[in-house]
Amino acid sequence: MVSGWIAPELGEVDGPAVGPDRPMLEGYHAYQRRTFRNICAGLTAEQLASRPLPSTNLSLLGLARHLAKVERVWLRIRAGREQIEPLFDPALGTDYDFEHIDAADAEAAFATYDEECRLGDLAAAHADFDDLIEWRYGTWSVRMIYVHLIGEYARHNGHADLLRQAIDGVTGR
């Protein structure tokens, strides 16, 4: 066993279902984040680092590392326009976050994920939803960044559900 650390469960997150875009999209983004964390809750570092489905290199730990990278890129670098380095050196490859997994790093990786979410919220809070962001696939508004993040989380939460079920049979978190 690498450590005694076990991923904690987070409380419920709720947001408005009607009204202006920003509170709804921020609330649903927060809900997707919590869903990911609760899928991981109760697992050991070794379970989080495991790759229980032989057809893929995905692990819950790899997803946590990937989502931390995603939060940094979209909210801090793009929406918040922070002049910071990516979380992982691009020269290491686009899948470095998924491929280089060590159970001993699980607690730190989840702390990094939580911190990137916190800092991303702070950075994006100053951006207007109609602000435009230029990137290699065109021009997006900050509003579209939130739509994209919700889609990214929904996709990866589906992956996470399958991984969790393969690890210990738990579903519906």
pLDDT at 47 exceeding the cut of 50: yes
Gap between the Cα atoms of 158 and 80, Å rounded: 28
Q: Which tokens belong to 111?
A: 């702390």
* Residue 1 confidence class, pLDDT cut points 50, 70, 90: very low
121, 113 contact by CB (below 8 A): no
What's 73's DSSP letter? I
What pLDDT was estimated at residue 2? Answer: 55
- Structure-derived torsion over alpha carbons of residues 132, 137, 143, 149, reported in degrees to the nearest 10: -140
Q: Which helix (H) or strand (E) holds 96?
A: helix 96-99
Tell me what the pLDDT averaged over the chain comes to. 94
* Residue 171 confidence class, pLDDT cut points 50, 70, 90: confident
* Average of per-residue pLDDT across 143-160: 98
Per-residue pLDDT reduced to its tens digit, 94-151 = 999 999 999 999 999 999 999 999 999 999 999 999 999 999 999 999 999 999 999 9
What domains, with CATH codes, occur in the chain? 21-168 (1.20.120.450)
Closest Cα to residue 131, out of 173, 80, 70, 61? 80
